[in-house]
Amino acid sequence: MENSKDKTVKDLAPLRDIKSSPELCMSCGTCSAGCPITGQDGFDPRKIVGMVIEGRDQELVESNLPWLCTMCAKCEHACPMGINITGIVRTIRGLVDRDKVPGMIHKGVELCLETGNNIGLPSEDFDFIIEDVGEEVAEEEGYEEFAAPIDKENANILHTLHNKLVNTQNEDLVHWWKIFHAADESFTIPSENWEGVNWGLFSGDDESMKTVVGRIVEHMEKLKVKNLMYPE
Ligand code: SF4
Ligand code: SF4
**pLDDT-derived band at 2, boundaries 50, 70, 90:** very low
Residue 53 in 3-state DSSP?
A: helix
Minimum CA distance residue for ligand 1 atom 6: 72
Q: Give the amino acid at 2.
A: E
pLDDT score recorded for residue 14:
59
Angstrom distance (rounded) from CA 185 to CA 179: 8
- CB of 82 sitting under 6 A from ligand 2: no
Task: Say how many Å lie between the CA of residue 40 and the centre of ligand 1.
Answer: 12
Minimum CA distance residue for ligand 1 atom 8: 35
pLDDT score recorded for residue 168:
86
Does position 1 have pLDDT exceeding 60, yes or no? no
| Ligand whose nearest atom lies closest to the CA of 38 | 1
- CB of 26 sitting under 6 A from ligand 2: yes
Q: Give the amino acid at 19.
A: K
Mean pLDDT in the chain? 90
Query: How far does CA 170 lie from the centroid of its chain?
Result: 20
Please give the C-alpha separations between residue 115 and each of 119, 214, 221, in angstroms, as whole numbers.
8, 15, 21
**pLDDT-derived band at 18, boundaries 50, 70, 90:** low
**pLDDT (tens digit per residue) in 129-148:** 999 999 999 999 989 989 99
**Cβ-contact 31, 46 below 8 angstroms:** yes
Average pLDDT for 1-16 = 60
**pLDDT (tens digit per residue) in 94-131:** 999 999 999 899 999 999 999 999 999 999 999 999 99
**Cβ-contact 2, 208 below 8 angstroms:** no
Terminal C-alpha separation, the chain: 26
Domains annotated for the chain, with CATH where assigned, are 9-100 (1.10.1060.10), 118-229 (no CATH)
**Cβ-contact 224, 163 below 8 angstroms:** no
Pocket residue to mutate for ligand 2, from 83, 84, 86, most atoms within 8 A of Cβ: 83
- CB of 33 sitting under 6 A from ligand 2: no
Average pLDDT for 195-215 = 94
Q: To the nearest 10°, report the CA torsion of 93, 47, 28, 35.
A: 60
pLDDT score recorded for residue 3:
44
